[in-house]
Amino acid sequence: MVEPDLRRIERPASKLPNVGTTIFTVMSRLAAECGAINLAQGFPDFPCSEELVELVSRAMRAGHNQYAPMEGLMALREQIAGKTERCYGHAPDPVTEITVTCGATEALFAAVAAVVGPGDEVIVLEPSYDSYLPAIELQGGKAVPVALRPADYSVDWPEVKAAVSERTRLIILNSPHNPTGAILRAEDLAELKAIVSATNVLVLSDEVYEHLVFDGEQHRSLLGDADLRARSLVVSSFGKTFHTTGWKTGYCVAPAWLTTEFRKVHQFLTFSNFTPVQYALAEYLKEPAHYQNLPDFYQAKRRAFGECMKATPFRLLPSYGTYFQLASFDHLSNESDVDFAVRLTREAGVAAIPVSVFYRDHTDHRVIRFCFAKRDETIEKAAERLSRF
């Protein structure tokens, strides 16, 4: 057989020349290679509800195994509308304003693709979740990073205001915030409103950790504010809420005119997602306790993690939401956070995420991110290993 001469193929320029493999894959792979406890990539190591598994099996046995509607199963969209009303005092229209997606990742990509064009500027707050920048770049958009204040990762609104230009199309927000655990408060939404009100700037609000807010604080969804939701695409994910990150089911809520554009992309990106899960979630969401219990559940995890970590030399930073907590190692090492995280995985047998990867210029404050969505035994074992490091 004659081998094809691959040198003759002229390769197109990479559309994402600066993108490598996502840090979540890199660290999970390294953790597996080293037999390390994986506190890096964010996913629970405990099972999801048996009832939910049973509901999915039942949907499959009942024959719900063909394409779901492109917009998502109506019964699920109705439950999402009901949950939104219960939580934020506003029920979006399930027909025109809610779309079920393949996880939040698809929703974020489709939202950016729907509204960002070549030359458009998108303000992102750094550290920022790693899927935002590539989505912007692939549309020919220009990311304009604004750093969260390093002391407490609060939003520097004067800096955001200064970053808004004639070309600003979108601001991307994420609360509760990955990786820092910071949350937006009522004052933040007031500041945002003042900045965007006289502009055509749209907002993409990544609220996948909406039900993981601690200390009696409330999640401030953009859907709870009439002015802001009129210009926003709000994204969430059942992966976080129901301990099912592998089911990749999320959704996007946006006004009808934005949803129309969103669905134009979604229908050709994935068309629809896994049907049996949509039937199961439509049923499971009828019981609000399933998500209302979540803050207590994860607050106990945060407490367990905090207690165990006292035996280690790390300095924990506050976590107000999400299932992540940052830890400073500035007093322990001069290494970059990437080198330190790799060494920690290899030598201590505990994997974490270096936070510099969430900055376009790799700003390194020598902090790493731990995920505490783990069984108590896992947390104890990890802390024990870290205390010997």
Residues lying near ligand PMP in the complex (CB under 6 A) are found at 42, 103-105, 129, 174, 178, 206, 208, 237, 239, 245, 248, 250
Q: Pattern 171-210, binding to ligand GLN, x per CB under 6 A?
A: -------x--------------------------------
Contact of residue 24 among ligand PMP, ligand GLN, none (CB under 5-8 Å per partner type): ligand GLN
**Which residue number, 201 or 208, has a Cβ lying nearer to ligand GLN?**
208
What's the Cα-to-Cα distance from 263 to each of 99, 113, 210, 257, 381, rounded to whole Å?
7, 11, 23, 10, 45
41 binds, among ligand PMP, ligand GLN, none (CB under 5 to 8 A by kind): ligand GLN
Q: Considering beta carbons, is residue 72 or 349 the nearer one to ligand PMP?
A: 72
Closest CA to 136 of 146, 125, 148, 144: 144
Q: Can you tell me whether residue 371 is helix, strand or coil?
A: strand
Q: Which of residues 237-276 bind ligand GLN (CB under 6 A)?
A: none
CB of 252 or CB of 344, closer to ligand PMP: 252
**Does 319 participate in binding ligand GLN (rule CB under 6 A)?**
no
259 forms beta bridges with: none
Residue showing tokens 């959704």 = 251
Q: How far is the CB of 105 from ligand GLN (least distance, A)?
A: 6
CA proximity to 34, closest of 254, 319, 344, 318: 344
Return d(Cα 20, Cα 385) in angstroms, integer. 30
242 contact, one of ligand GLN, ligand PMP, none, CB 5-8 Å limit per kind? none
The smaller minimum CB distance to ligand GLN, of residues 42 and 141, is found at 42
What strand order describes the sheet that includes 367-371? Answer: 315-316, 324-328, 367-371, 353-354
Nearer to ligand PMP, 262 or 308 (CB): 262
Q: Say which residue the tokens 């609220």 belong to.
A: 207
